[in-house]
Structure 1
Amino acid sequence: MNKKFLTYNMEVNGLTQEVRFSADAVEKIFMPLLHELTDLRLTMDRKVVAYLVAPPGSGKSTLAQFLEWLSRERGEVDNIRALGMDGFHFTAAYMSATEIERDGEKILMRNIKGAPETFDVDLLVDKIRQLRQDGTDWNVYDRRIHDVLPDYMSVEDDIVLIEGNYLLLNEPTWTNVRVLCDYSVFIDADASVLRERIISRKMMGGSSREDAEKFFNFSDARNIERVLKNSARADETWKLLPDGDFVKQ
């Protein structure tokens, strides 16, 4: 049976793109999550912070923005605010001037941008704590300038959904992020599917296939493995299929 997909245009990370999700995923996976978060807010005396965690290349930023749009489109659930973790990268200037050890060699942090070590975790923890109480100004990563915009947007929403790779990571420092979550969703995916998605995305951005594959093998592949192997168990797990659809596990 052919799948029915919903298609629309939306802005993600400063770029406009067309996205699609299956009708089944919307009604049987996404909407139940929004109802869960709405119900959770009714039981708490503070704001709800949920995590959408996924390996690189899974489309988590797009999905989070879609869930925000869906919550506002459907009057039966509370509105959610989608936020990204990428705004808590160290600045481009800092990463261009700071060395980090990788495989016994010192390299500039910018060469592994996107790895867990390239994030200001302490600042992220502080901001999430503020979100849980009175709200805060949130950092944003702008792909047009490839840098962080500190305190770019004010967030006072009752339900926030933070998307990122490492929010559930069972590694030192990152566990301080994990404990601040009220509800979590993890997106599982086959590494081969993620590889092709990432390489295609880099080529669309102007990279040759050779350069895209080289960077993937040096950086992205390691990040994917860390997320898939070292993330704590989430409240829900969704599987990303090769056609971009999702199923609940």
Structure 2
Amino acid sequence: MELQQLVARARHLAASAAPARRRLLGIAGPPGSGKSTLAAHLISGLAGSAALVPMDGFHLAEAELRRLGRTGRKGAPDTFDAAGYAALLARLRSPAPDTVVYAPAFDRRIEEPVAGSIPVKPDVPLVVTEGNYLLLDDPSWERARTFLDEIWYVDLDDAERVRRLVDRHERFGKPRAHAERFVHTSDEANARLVAAGRERADLIVKFGPGAAPGPYAE
């Protein structure tokens, strides 16, 4: 399925929305697979008919991770506020008239979530949300899944995915050796958890070495 077809599928989902029942599309996949790239393509292609609300805005703050002793595992399922994410999806699913919903974002420059960063206007018919754990078989994440109309899983060759992850960590300030160690311990442990949910997706989007989505399997 080409990118234009993926945009058309998302547009059809948006067109099926009702005033009191917005549509939500989830984009899942392991770290570095291209979820953000695909989501950005969809938002651009839908030209104002969709808003992007990443799951990453629900990272726990660094201070809380230190308190819990989870700093070295940042990105694992229990380093997110899964209940808060589900509560936001519930608000987005049933928009109140004339009410803007504000969602948090994640700032990679400071490695912290930032509240109230993403405005979602009440007349936007589709919200695209992307994150690692939308298909995770875990009670903490099941409620979030109930608000999503479709979930697409983004697949990428593991070697290419790991290379991109290391490059990304380095680009945001980690020394190369630290980036490689973090990817091969924390990120890849999380990737294995995410991959276990692959077959629960409504659509599997395969990425090649470039940025364009390629074929898919259902």
Same fold by TM (over 0.5)? yes
Instruction: Find the counterpart in structure 2 of residue 140 from structure 1.
Output: 105
- The partner residue of 1:125 within 67, 75, 86 is 86
Instruction: Find the counterpart in structure 1 of residue 39 from structure 2.
Output: 64
Instruction: Determine if the alignment matches structure 1 residue 174 to structure 2 residue 153.
Output: no
What is the Cα deviation at residue 47 of structure 1?
A: 0.8
Displacement over 4 Å in runs of 4+? none
Q: Is the 8 A contact 1:52 1:186 kept in 2?
A: yes
Aligned ranges for residues 214-225 of structure 1 at < 5 Å? Answer: 214-225=181-192
Instruction: Determine if the alignment matches structure 1 residue 79 to structure 2 residue 49.
Output: yes
Considering fraction of residues, name the structure with more strand. Answer: 1
Q: Is the 8 A contact 2:51 2:128 kept in 1?
A: yes
Quick one: distance in 1 between partners of 2:176 and 2:117? 34
Q: Is the 8 A contact 1:41 1:158 kept in 2?
A: yes
Q: Which amino acid aligns with 1:31?
A: V
Quick one: distance in 1 between partners of 2:20 and 2:170? 47
Quick one: distance in 2 between partners of 1:83 and 1:133? 15
Secondary structure, counterpart of 1:188 in structure 2: strand
What is the Cα deviation at residue 117 of structure 1?
A: 0.9
**TM-score normalised by L of structure 2:** 0.87
Q: Is the 8 A contact 1:49 1:183 kept in 2?
A: yes
Q: Is the 8 A contact 1:92 1:148 kept in 2?
A: no
Instruction: Determine if the alignment matches structure 1 residue 235 to structure 2 residue 202.
Output: yes
Distance of aligned partners of 1:232 and 1:207 in 2 relative to their CA distance in 1, 3 Å threshold = same
What is the Cα deviation at residue 124 of structure 1?
A: 0.8
Identity of aligned residues (%): 30
Q: Which amino acid aligns with 1:195?
A: V
Q: Which stretches in structure 2 are left out of the alignment for 5+ residues?
A: none
CA offsets per residue over residues 108-155 of structure 1, 9 Å max, x none?
A: 212111111100011111111011112622111112222111233331
Instruction: Find the counterpart in structure 1 of residue 13 from structure 2.
Output: 37
What is the Cα deviation at residue 169 of structure 1?
A: 1.1
Instruction: Find the counterpart in structure 1 of residue 60 from structure 2.
Output: 90
**How much is the aligned-residue C-alpha RMSD, in angstroms?**
2.0
Q: Which amino acid aligns with 1:132?
A: R
Quick one: distance in 2 between partners of 1:241 and 1:226? 22
Instruction: Find the counterpart in structure 2 of residue 195 from structure 1.
Output: 162
**TM-score normalised by L of structure 1:** 0.77
Aligned ranges for residues 102-121 of structure 1 at < 5 Å? Answer: 108-121=69-82
What is the Cα deviation at residue 38 of structure 1?
A: 2.8
Instruction: Find the counterpart in structure 1 of residue 2 from structure 2.
Output: 25
Q: Is the 8 A contact 2:11 2:46 kept in 1?
A: no
